[in-house]
Structure 1
């Protein structure tokens, strides 16, 4: 078996069959592997950057994203990471086609445990020869504006990249002036929304009387001076990412409307009785301790739950 610095090669194991997942995991661990077992391709994507496996073993047919879609994303991000696909008898042609596209190997179920062990050992030799996590230049572009020589910062970037591909809401908590917007932009660039709009908004910089109008829009005649309809930030960023800086300073009334965006994917402009559908990803930032704000009654607990996925 190939030895690593930690003396345990890392294997990311992906299968929605819990029994088989457990069985393979036990076999691999008994043979000296470090195993991270997950039940879906979507969950596997969140583990790649932080767990940094030496090989991936995935089922082909799964609910949600299938093994082939997972492989295609891995190939884009980690050129030399070997992927072994497990398949039932009825899907052998699919697996053969997958190997032609770059999948390292496929195994048909049921298979002998020693067969998988042999395939993994050969795959790991390929991994060591090819080099650890060779990436394309475009794979590094997402965080090119963040210059650092810190292992702590690199770990943060790995975590940010893992979260970026999931499309969940993210809160960045840090002191003022530490580059929260830079990190938010990097998350946007690493996400599936990278070709869409990124819009930043400082919740502490706009008077409370104008905040809801700026975020959610207003209808003509909604208030004095509203001489025309205004779409607002969320409609303008539809399909992209909205960065809400200093969200801890957002008034409670606006927090309620923001919760509606997260729960129902729609906004209701000020003065309007009709809601408008929107599709945005929300990245927020604050220097506050929002848990303390919840206890003090200045921040909604349900909103914090939705933002801090």
Structure 2
């Protein structure tokens, strides 16, 4: 039962049926109020707000559809289910088109009615509170599904250990959010949490980012640089998309995990590090190992404990609570007074395919928040956002910054890190181009062919090639 203490308002002019339904719903755990007419229902709504209205269509005076129209005007987010012994397909189509949540024709199966009630309540009930101190670690993981409850229970258990964790799950399922939650629940919570996407950084740059480099290790290395392992010392390092890590770096990562020490580029000395490793991937690592793309010895180092996150389609009961959570969070960002989703809009969200999982849901909610002109998000706006599921809402400044960095990376790759050539292609002088690189925190030396070769060579060979350069 998704909401065992929810209040339901029953409206029917048949006293026997009203009594029978009241008994059945009370036995199912609901708080039931029963009235014989639409007018009595509206008077009741003025005093007490239920979570659901269940009404017969044929009523004395105002009928069930007229009652629904009045409820929609006064309480737009309140779901209504209509019952009738005179139902026709056109009636049902018209009712659902106007926003009625459900339309059942008598006689109906009791289980069918209870299922429809649970579905309606799931759309409007609030997210489970995570206010207790012992639940604060998972505050960002909004869920009421049993599948996620199992994952979170395991995560809570392993958080207290120092075991390496491998998070599996499709893109957008929330692997980084879960990694942060494990860190918050661990003894390392007061130390740094550092995340790096292994598939989004060029190989030469990734090595320097992970392990650091010494001044003079390559062209443009004008000072010592601490890597992310050192930055995360005492805390947790998330290696996101570990399945995309280049094979040469897999060897070096394995050595770091075995020796619990890093050797920055250009250094002959190892630096001890104390880091808990959480890795994440959407790839099938078993298939990658079989294809020789991922080292088996590294796999077993990383895969001490595995947690698998379900897709959003496998936890549909979480869609309403996630959507409302994102709505309230984003309303503040856009300075909007948004009260929720119209029932038919929420129904569209809960029945969508969601190939992009929670990340796609967030993007859709952000789009409707940015575009809505009414407090209640309408169905049309949700349908419009669902037709463009890959669109990420960025401010103009954010989009410009992202494009500029990607453009500069492309030029440096094309020219092997030659600033003069890259500046010429960009139509900028070298001084201005260097300023752009500094703004985007890009080091041209790491894009040179010799830097890539050095990153895959043994340390002794790296020193030799650097001496030859000098």
TM-score by length of 1: 0.55
How far apart, CA to CA, are the structure 2 residues paired with 1:256 and 1:190?
Answer: 30
Instruction: Give the superposition deviation at 1:292.
Output: 1.1
How far apart, CA to CA, are the structure 1 residues paired with 2:199 and 2:143?
Answer: 29
Equivalent position of 2:36 in the other structure: none
Residue in structure 2 matching 1:295, options 275, 285, 290: 290
Residues 1:237 and 2:253 are matched in the alignment? no
Cα deviation code 1:57-88 (max 9, x no counterpart): xxxxxxxxxxxxxxxxxxxxxxxxxxxxxxxx
Equivalent residue runs for 1:156-305 within 5 Å: 156-305=151-300
How far apart, CA to CA, are the structure 1 residues paired with 2:283 and 2:133?
Answer: 34
Equivalent position of 1:110 in the other structure: none
SS at match of 1:172: strand
Instruction: Give the superposition deviation at 1:170.
Output: 0.3
Instruction: Give the superposition deviation at 1:137.
Output: 2.1
Q: Pairwise CA RMSD of aligned residues?
A: 1.3
Residues 1:151 and 2:151 are matched in the alignment? no
TM-score by length of 2: 0.37
How far apart, CA to CA, are the structure 1 residues paired with 2:193 and 2:272?
Answer: 18
Equivalent residue runs for 1:40-79 within 5 Å: none
Instruction: Give the superposition deviation at 1:136.
Output: 9.0
Count of residues paired in the alignment: 175
How far apart, CA to CA, are the structure 1 residues paired with 2:280 and 2:143?
Answer: 21
Equivalent position of 1:105 in the other structure: none
Instruction: Give the superposition deviation at 1:287.
Output: 0.5
Residues 1:137 and 2:137 are matched in the alignment? no
How far apart, CA to CA, are the structure 1 residues paired with 2:266 and 2:156?
Answer: 39
Instruction: Give the superposition deviation at 1:261.
Output: 2.0
How far apart, CA to CA, are the structure 2 residues paired with 1:299 and 1:148?
Answer: 33
Equivalent position of 1:18 in the other structure: none
Cα deviation code 1:250-275 (max 9, x no counterpart): 01111111112211110011111110
How far apart, CA to CA, are the structure 2 residues paired with 1:277 and 1:253?
Answer: 21
> Cα gap change, 1:306/1:237 in structure 2, threshold over 3 Å: closer, same or farther?
same
How far apart, CA to CA, are the structure 2 residues paired with 1:146 and 1:272?
Answer: 41
SS at match of 1:163: helix
Instruction: Give the superposition deviation at 1:208.
Output: 1.1
SS at match of 1:283: strand
Equivalent position of 2:374 in the other structure: none
SS at match of 1:292: helix
Q: Which runs of 5+ in 2 are unaligned?
A: 1-129, 305-470
Q: Which runs of 5+ in 1 are unaligned?
A: 1-134
